[in-house]
């Protein structure tokens, strides 16, 4: 490709709402045959809202919302924001946590009102996370009682994300949040397919939730329940199968995978970490522009042949 044609391509990209790191980026899109899409914030709006609150026997719903909401208020994760906002709405003001730690891809832990609190995936409860300064007494696995596990499974089967809440070594409840699929996602997936790309949905979220989103937008390859550090390995695995991979993502969790992919596309509405790691930024966070980007680079390269 001649430098001039690539520069023109770069300028055209800016008009379409695509920021390109350097002209050479367009060349790397040439052989892309697979497009890995992060779910939350990429295919879905990432604006979740709190739905159901299930409590274990004897647990006060208001207390559950206050303790979980307090910790989640300190996290930037879309699930956390939904829980914090819902808790304030339903239970009033939230206490400030005495201790807080984000456990990437799993949830949050901390101390609220003297209670050692966990909110997140079953794995977070099961793994018996390293105890914090103020909560040394626990660190053993916590299991969900049957009623809560059933409520959680039922919510997930309907496409909601469900997280467990535990404190002082006991599971106390389950909160569900729901996220809407972006209006443009199904069309974007169809366009990516028309360009001959195979879409793959990649998420740290539950398998059933992931499948329900995938169905809604027309994706049939789903890789779910992936820890943030493992997203990179999945991209590498696809590459090892001989596929040339574009990855679209928005989160801190996606940054390493965006950097590893043959072409990294960051949602402009996402985190700085993702934008820095990507080769391209889709300024408005519209997934359809991912297809525009591929089309543009093919056209740019074709003019040069
Ligand atoms: P995605 O890959 O879809 O962007 P993440 O890797 O960020 O999702 O999160 C994976 C899963 O970890 C979530 O679906 C949720 O179950 C759990 N999780 C992550 N952060 C939190 C949090 N702050 N509170 C509760 N659960 C969380
Ligand atoms: Mg995301």
Question: For the segment 264-296, what is each residue's pLDDT rounded down to a tens digit?
Answer: 999 999 999 999 999 999 999 999 999 999 888
Task: Establish whether residue 46 lines the binding site of ligand 1, counting it when its CB lies within 6 angstroms of any ligand atom.
Answer: no
Question: Same structural domain for residues 143 and 69?
Answer: yes
Domain that holds residue 114: 47-179
Number of domains making up the chain: 2
If one residue of 38, 72, 120, 214 were mutated to test the ligand 1 pocket, choosing by the most ligand atoms within 8 A of its CB, it would be: 120
Closest-lying ligand 1 atom to the alpha carbon of residue 72: 23
Q: How many CB atoms lie within 10 A of CB 157?
A: 13
pLDDT of amino acid 134: 46
Task: Establish whether residue 75 lines the binding site of ligand 1, counting it when its CB lies within 6 angstroms of any ligand atom.
Answer: yes
If one residue of 106, 180, 251 were mutated to test the ligand 1 pocket, choosing by the most ligand atoms within 8 A of its CB, it would be: 106
Distance 165 CA to ligand 1 centre (A): 14
Which of 130, 156, 179 is at the close of a domain? 179
pLDDT of amino acid 214: 96
209-216: long-range contacts at Cβ-Cβ below 8 A with a sequence spacing of 24 or more?
209/156, 209/159, 209/160, 209/161, 210/39, 212/158, 212/159, 213/39, 213/43, 213/44, 213/159, 213/181, 216/181, 216/185, 216/186
Question: For the segment 32-73, what is each residue's pLDDT rounded down to a tens digit?
Answer: 999 999 999 999 998 899 999 999 999 999 999 999 999 999
Distance 77 CA to ligand 1 centre (A): 7
Task: Establish whether residue 160 lines the binding site of ligand 1, counting it when its CB lies within 6 angstroms of any ligand atom.
Answer: no
Q: What angle do CA 226, 230, 232 make, to 5 degrees?
A: 120
Q: Pick the residue whose CA is nearest to atom 7 on ligand 1.
A: 105
Structure tokens at 68: 């979980």
Q: What is the DSSP letter of 74?
A: T
Q: Which residue has the higher pLDDT, 136 or 157?
A: 157
Question: Same structural domain for residues 59 and 143?
Answer: yes
Domain with residue 296: its CATH number is 3.40.50.1000
Please state, rounded to an integer, the average pLDDT across all residues of the chain: 90
Q: What is the DSSP letter of 96?
A: P
Q: With 70 as the cut, is the pLDDT of residue 128 above it?
A: no
Q: What is the pTM of this model?
A: 0.78
Task: Establish whether residue 228 lines the binding site of ligand 1, counting it when its CB lies within 6 angstroms of any ligand atom.
Answer: yes
Q: How many CB atoms lie within 10 A of CB 105?
A: 21
**ipTM score:** 0.91
Handedness of CA 226, 228, 233, 237 (dihedral sign): positive
Residue 38 annotated among the catalytic residues of the structure: yes
Question: Same structural domain for residues 186 and 274?
Answer: yes
């Amino acid at each position: 490709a001649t430098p001039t044609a690539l520069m023109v391509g770069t300028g055209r990209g800016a008009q379409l709402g695509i920021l390109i790191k350097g002209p050479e980026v367009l060349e790397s899109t040439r052989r892309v045959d697979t497009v890995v899409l992060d779910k939350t914030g990429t295919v879905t709006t990432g604006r979740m809202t709190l739905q159901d609150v299930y409590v274990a026997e004897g647990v006060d719903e208001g207390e559950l919302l206050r303790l979980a909401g307090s910790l989640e208020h300190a996290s930037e994760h879309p699930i956390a924001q939904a829980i914090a906002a819902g808790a304030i709405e339903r239970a009033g003001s939230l206490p400030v946590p005495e201790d807080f730690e984000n456990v990437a891809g799993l949830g949050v832990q901390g101390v609220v009102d003297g209670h050692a609190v966990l909110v997140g995936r079953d794995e977070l409860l099961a793994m018996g996370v390293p105890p914090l300064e103020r909560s040394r007494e626990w660190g053993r696995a916590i299991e969900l009682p049957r009623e809560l596990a059933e409520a959680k499974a039922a919510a997930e089967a309907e496409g909601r994300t469900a997280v467990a809440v535990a404190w002082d070594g006991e599971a106390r409840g389950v909160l569900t949040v729901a996220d809407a699929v972006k209006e443009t996602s199904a069309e974007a997936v169809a366009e990516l397919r028309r360009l001959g790309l195979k879409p793959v949905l990649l998420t740290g979220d539950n398998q059933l939730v992931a499948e329900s989103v995938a169905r809604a937008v027309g994706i049939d390859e789903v890789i779910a329940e992936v820890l943030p550090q493992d997203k990179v390995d999945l991209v590498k695995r696809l590459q090892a199968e001989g596929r040339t991979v574009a990855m679209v993502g928005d989160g801190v969790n996606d940054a390493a995978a965006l950097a590893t992919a043959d072409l990294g596309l960051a949602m402009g509405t996402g985190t700085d970490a993702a934008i820095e790691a990507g080769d391209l930024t889709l300024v408005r966070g519209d997934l359809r522009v991912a297809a525009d980007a591929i089309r543009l680079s093919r056209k740019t390269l074709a003019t040069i042949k």
